A and B are shown apart, each in its own frame.
Chain A
Amino acid sequence: MTAEANAGVPRLEVRGVTKRFPGVLANDHVNFAVDPGEVHALLGENGAGKSTLVKMIYGVLHPDEGRLLWNGEAMDITDPHAARALGIGMVFQHFSLFEAMTVLENIALGMDEPGDMASLSRRVVEVSQAYGLPLDPDRNVYTLSVGERQRIEIVRCLLQNPKLLIMDEPTSVLTPQEVERLFETLRKLSAEGVSILYISHKLDEIKALCDRATILRGGRVVGECDPSVETAKSMAQMMIGEELKSVTRRSAGTHGEARLAVEGLTMPSEEIHGIDLKNVSFSVKAGEVFGIAGVAGNGQNELLLGLSGERLAHHDTIVRIDGEPVGRRDAGARRRLGICVVPEERNGHGAVPGMSLVENGVLSGHHRMDLLSNVFIRFGAAARFASEIVEAFDVRTPGIAASAGSLSGGNLQKFIVGREILQKPKVLIVSQPTWGVDAGAAATIHQALADLAAEGVAVVVVSQDLDELLAISDRLAVINVGVLSSAMVTKEASVEEIGLLMGGVHGLEPAPERAPEEAANVA
């Protein structure tokens, strides 16, 4: 809209931008340009340098070398205020929201001149209606679903009439219907002349939405393409630089009694804004991969705690392994019987960041891998166990003495998944197995889960990534506000149906008030 004076000049041009962090070259002489009204994709694996690059455009980080040109003029974007003054808006991958504050306060905080709160509130309602992003300005953020939270970030940007909207992996936490609505909004903005820089590693979305894609690998631009003429596979290969392996299932066929059976698990959450589990029932047979889909924060963490034994059920018979009741047994006892668990949070739950890989191996592996003799740790055996994991799962680390916290997210995930798989579990429960893991490593992990199932292990995969569950699970169920749907056979399930279940009854409207204690608290 401002480019009429200098037609043909890109709205934003990145020239030779380089950014180094200690030990890492995050961006290496990156060049690309975004035209007015264009939806431009930045495509790359985790660790390719996409987030670093856009943080420099938004002024959160500063380039070591190179320049940014705005409508053809060199600009020094010192901080986010400067970026917003130019007309750059950003929706962060990890939202920049304040949970205990209201929607309106959150929006005001992200603006440089919000004006008075009453008129801002009216403008929020106007803009959110104009773009189909319903929001109640007076709600507290912690009562909102992830999709609603994202709307806050988008509306916050729209109120400042952006010329360039940066979206960092916006769909990773949305239901399919929410994704479709988001795309409608983005197309509308693009038609109005707003440029959109869209970061993702989801190739189907990029094909559906973007006009052009710049592909990053290892901090460098390795190619540019028109997503509409490429296939998802060809873009993936440019992204990872090698052939993509697809998961092969050696179907052993499911057989026999349920290895893991959960019957009527009801559990109030211990978290302040947590979700209570309500009468959750399912069973998994030997050789079966059972998927649990759902938008984050719908009781997945609570379910995982209830299965692992970190929290106990009310009756012993509520959870059974191979028919044996374990509902009242703790995590150690359940591990000895064969339940191995990969929690969602790697640092602090799945692994102790300050301890070495060997020690982290002992922490969860000592029950099944015989790593203790009386009060002593058998360090020889523990080191062998850690080395075995590193080798089998291609964990990139300077050595097994390295601390877990020094590994990149993807490598630590490979280590944790590997640690549990090598313990030869009877039941493996994995939450978000490939979150933040690059496509190559994701394929390795999927293959390992498939192989495990083929050996007769019952595998439960909890994931927000529906494509992942559709690819690897035999049956799946959807969790929403602590209620698990009945299981369906994956091959016969439709994405629409699953999406509706994920959104529950409140998919497109503001969620019902989840925190009545708040009112009581004020009084």
Chain B
Amino acid sequence: MAPDAAVLVILTVVGAATPLLFAALGELVVEKSGVLNLGVEGMMILGAVSAFAVAVSTGSGALGVVAGMLAGMAMAFIFGVLTLTLAANQVATGLALTIFGLGLSSLMGASFIGIPVEPLAKLSIPGISQIPIIGPLFFGHDALVYLSFAAVVAIAWFLKKSRAGMILRAVGESDISAHSIGYNVIAVRYRAVLFGGAMAGLGGAFLSLSYTPLWNEGMTAGRGWIALALVVFSSWRPWRLLVGAYLFGGVTILQLYTQGAGGLGIPAQVMSMLPYLATILVLAVIAAGPWKGRLDAPACLGKPFRPST
């Protein structure tokens, strides 16, 4: 393969991995606070359609990205009211949120199908971005790609080093203990859930404004679910999440290329299953394996909390 072609493959892997990374980082923080939000797919796709609609209407990609994040947060707020304030079942609410998001996004996006949009501006440093291989690989992305890497560093630092991050982990580890020491469990979880919504919306915005860039019904195509699986795969560690997102991004692209190359005699349908099969395999291995990945799960994950007064 020519160097240029290799660079192109890597660039598409970055494109496939970035939305996964955003959504999964958000969900990681949510789960660390003890909340399981299965509505990532729904928040993501609503972020995608909102970002696209605003970007097309205003002509501003940046406004589109902000709109995507706000849409994700609005969805997360609904989830928060139901599961945190009203203590509804988190699994059922999350599933409902996904179905709701898929339906609502189709409705909102009906008139935007097939319309082109100006993709997000790529970084361009005269001279440097033109260096062969290194230029496009490191200096030719749009701002969101760099933001996703910064987010890994920031979240890893936040969880490990900051006091607020320590309180968030404590709330996810034992809500009752945190409450009896005097922390406001529900408030901490609200913030985490809203952050998760914004990150899922950001992932969606990247999809519709940078990766494709187009709006299509159901265009997230299960990426929200892969993001959920990635959180488990990473055993709730941001750096492993980065590796995982690029691994899964790579599998997605591999599938596209082998289809293009005649599928190596494998039916195209089997190849498109690949990312999802990999997800199932990884989850099964982690659950059963000697690594005991579940050991790292926040102890209160998915349990509703009702403070007594």
Please give the residue numbers on chain A whose beta carbons come within 8 Å of chain B beta carbons, in ascending order: 55, 59-62, 79-81, 83-84, 92, 94-101, 105, 108-110, 114, 272, 517, 521
Chain B residues with CB below 8 A from A110, complex form: 181
Beta-carbon nearest neighbor of A141 in chain B = B173
For chain B, the bracket of interface size reads: 20 to 34
Beta-carbon nearest neighbor of A109 in chain B = B170
Chain A residues with CB below 8 A from B122, complex form: none
Roughly how many angstroms separate A11 CA and B176 CA in the complex, as a whole number? 29
Q: Is the CB of A98 within 8 A of B182?
A: no
Q: A99 and B170 in contact (CB under 8 A), knowing A60-B180, A61-B309, A110-B181? A: no
**Number of cross-chain contacts by CB at 8 Å:** 64
> Which of B65-73, B269-277, B291-299 has 4 or more CB atoms under 8 Å from chain A?
B291-299
Is B169 interfacial (CB-CB < 8 Å)? Answer: yes
Chain A residues with CB below 8 A from B176, complex form: 94, 96
Q: Is the CB of B309 within 8 A of A99?
A: no
Q: Is the CB of B299 within 8 A of A517?
A: no
Is B60 interfacial (CB-CB < 8 Å)? Answer: no
> With contacts A96-B178, A98-B169, A110-B181 known, what are 12 further pairs, Cβ within 8 A?
A60-B180, A60-B182, A80-B181, A96-B176, A96-B177, A96-B181, A100-B173, A109-B170, A272-B294, A521-B292, A521-B295, A521-B296
What 1/0 flags go to B266-309 for Cβ under 8 Å of A?
00000000000000000000000001101110110000000011
Roughly how many angstroms separate A270 CA and B282 CA in the complex, as a whole number? 22
The 9 closest A-B pairs by CB, nearest first: A80-B182, A96-B177, A98-B173, A96-B180, A81-B182, A98-B170, A79-B182, A109-B170, A110-B181
Beta-carbon nearest neighbor of A117 in chain B = B161
Beta-carbon nearest neighbor of A82 in chain B = B182
Is B166 interfacial (CB-CB < 8 Å)? Answer: yes
Roughly how many angstroms separate A408 CA and B195 CA in the complex, as a whole number? 40
Q: Is the CB of B291 within 8 A of A59?
A: no
Roughly how many angstroms separate A55 CA and B308 CA in the complex, as a whole number? 11
Beta-carbon nearest neighbor of A518 in chain B = B295
Q: A272 and B177 in contact (CB under 8 A), knowing A80-B182, A98-B170, A100-B299? A: no
Q: Is the CB of B295 within 8 A of A95?
A: no
Q: Is the CB of B166 within 8 A of A108?
A: yes
Q: A61 and B308 in contact (CB under 8 A), knowing A97-B174, A109-B166, A517-B292? A: yes
Chain A residues with CB below 8 A from B7, complex form: none
Q: A98 and B292 in contact (CB under 8 A), knowing A61-B308, A79-B182, A109-B166? A: no
Is B188 interfacial (CB-CB < 8 Å)? Answer: no
Roughly how many angstroms separate A351 CA and B299 CA in the complex, as a whole number? 23
Chain B residues with CB below 8 A from A109, complex form: 166-167, 170, 178, 181, 183
Q: Is the CB of A62 within 8 A of B309?
A: yes
Cross-interface CB contact of A99 among B166, B179, B299, cutoff 8 Å: B299
| Interface members, chain B 26-83 (any A CB < 8 Å) | none
Chain A residues with CB below 8 A from B167, complex form: 109
Q: Is the CB of B292 within 8 A of A272?
A: yes
Q: Is the CB of B173 within 8 A of A59?
A: no
Cross-chain pairs A/B with CB under 8 angstroms, 24 sampled: A55-B180, A59-B182, A60-B180, A61-B309, A62-B309, A84-B182, A92-B180, A96-B176, A96-B177, A96-B178, A97-B174, A97-B177, A98-B173, A98-B178, A99-B174, A99-B299, A101-B169, A101-B173, A108-B163, A109-B166, A109-B167, A109-B178, A109-B181, A110-B181
Beta-carbon nearest neighbor of B167 in chain A = A109
Chain B residues with CB below 8 A from A83, complex form: 182
Chain B residues touching A, majority SS = helix
Q: How far is the CB of A428 from chain B (nearest CB, A)?
A: 33
Chain B residues with CB below 8 A from A108, complex form: 163, 166
Chain B residues with CB below 8 A from A517, complex form: 292, 295
Interface centre among B169, B178, B181 (most CB of A within 10 A): B181
Roughly how many angstroms separate A97 CA and B176 CA in the complex, as a whole number? 9
Chain B residues with CB below 8 A from A80, complex form: 180-182
Beta-carbon nearest neighbor of B183 in chain A = A109
Roughly how many angstroms separate A97 CA and B298 CA in the complex, as a whole number? 14
Q: Is the CB of B166 within 8 A of A105?
A: yes
Q: How far is the CB of B222 from chain A (nearest CB, A)?
A: 30
What 1/0 flags go to B180-220 for Cβ under 8 Å of A?
11110000000000000000000000000000000000000
Q: How far is the CB of A86 from chain B (nearest CB, A)?
A: 13
Roughly how many angstroms separate A108 CA and B166 CA in the complex, as a whole number? 9
Beta-carbon nearest neighbor of A84 in chain B = B182
Q: How far is the CB of B62 from chain A (nearest CB, A)?
A: 38
Q: How far is the CB of B177 from chain A (nearest CB, A)?
A: 4
Roughly how many angstroms separate A228 CA and B87 CA in the complex, as a whole number? 49
Roughly how many angstroms separate A96 CA and B174 CA in the complex, as a whole number? 8
Chain B residues with CB below 8 A from A95, complex form: 177
Beta-carbon nearest neighbor of B297 in chain A = A100
Q: Is the CB of B292 within 8 A of A99?
A: no
Q: How far is the CB of A351 from chain B (nearest CB, A)?
A: 20
Chain A residues with CB below 8 A from B296, complex form: 100, 521
Q: A98 and B177 in contact (CB under 8 A), knowing A59-B182, A61-B308, A108-B166? A: yes
Chain B residues with CB below 8 A from A61, complex form: 308-309
Chain B residues with CB below 8 A from A521, complex form: 291-292, 295-296
Q: Is the CB of A272 within 8 A of B295?
A: yes
Beta-carbon nearest neighbor of B235 in chain A = A521
Beta-carbon nearest neighbor of B184 in chain A = A79
Chain A residues with CB below 8 A from B295, complex form: 272, 517, 521
Roughly how many angstroms separate A172 CA and B308 CA in the complex, as a whole number? 25
Chain B residues with CB below 8 A from A81, complex form: 182
Beta-carbon nearest neighbor of B291 in chain A = A521
Beta-carbon nearest neighbor of A78 in chain B = B182
Q: How far is the CB of B33 from chain A (nearest CB, A)?
A: 13
Q: How far is the CB of A108 from chain B (nearest CB, A)?
A: 7
Beta-carbon nearest neighbor of A55 in chain B = B180
Chain A residues with CB below 8 A from B298, complex form: 100
Roughly how many angstroms separate A93 CA and B166 CA in the complex, as a whole number? 23
Roughly how many angstroms separate A94 CA and B177 CA in the complex, as a whole number? 9
Roughly how many angstroms separate A110 CA and B309 CA in the complex, as a whole number? 19
Chain B residues with CB below 8 A from A94, complex form: 176
Chain A residues with CB below 8 A from B183, complex form: 109
Beta-carbon nearest neighbor of A90 in chain B = B180
Beta-carbon nearest neighbor of B166 in chain A = A105
Beta-carbon nearest neighbor of A114 in chain B = B163
Roughly how many angstroms separate A517 CA and B169 CA in the complex, as a whole number? 21
Q: How far is the CB of A107 from chain B (nearest CB, A)?
A: 11
Roughly how many angstroms separate A218 CA and B235 CA in the complex, as a whole number? 48
| Interface members, chain B 81-108 (any A CB < 8 Å) | none
Chain A residues with CB below 8 A from B179, complex form: 60
Chain A residues with CB below 8 A from B309, complex form: 61-62
Roughly how many angstroms separate A61 CA and B169 CA in the complex, as a whole number? 24
Q: How far is the CB of B35 from chain A (nearest CB, A)?
A: 17
Roughly how many angstroms separate A96 CA and B170 CA in the complex, as a whole number? 10
Q: Is the CB of A101 within 8 A of B182?
A: no
Roughly how many angstroms separate A59 CA and B184 CA in the complex, as a whole number? 13
Q: How far is the CB of A309 from chain B (nearest CB, A)?
A: 25
Chain A residues with CB below 8 A from B308, complex form: 61
Chain A residues with CB below 8 A from B173, complex form: 98-101
Interface centre among B179, B295, B308 (most CB of A within 10 A): B295
Beta-carbon nearest neighbor of A81 in chain B = B182
Beta-carbon nearest neighbor of B308 in chain A = A61
Chain B residues with CB below 8 A from A79, complex form: 182
Beta-carbon nearest neighbor of A272 in chain B = B295
Roughly how many angstroms separate A511 CA and B243 CA in the complex, as a whole number? 36
Roughly how many angstroms separate A514 CA and B131 CA in the complex, as a whole number? 54
Beta-carbon nearest neighbor of B177 in chain A = A96
Q: How far is the CB of B46 from chain A (nearest CB, A)?
A: 33
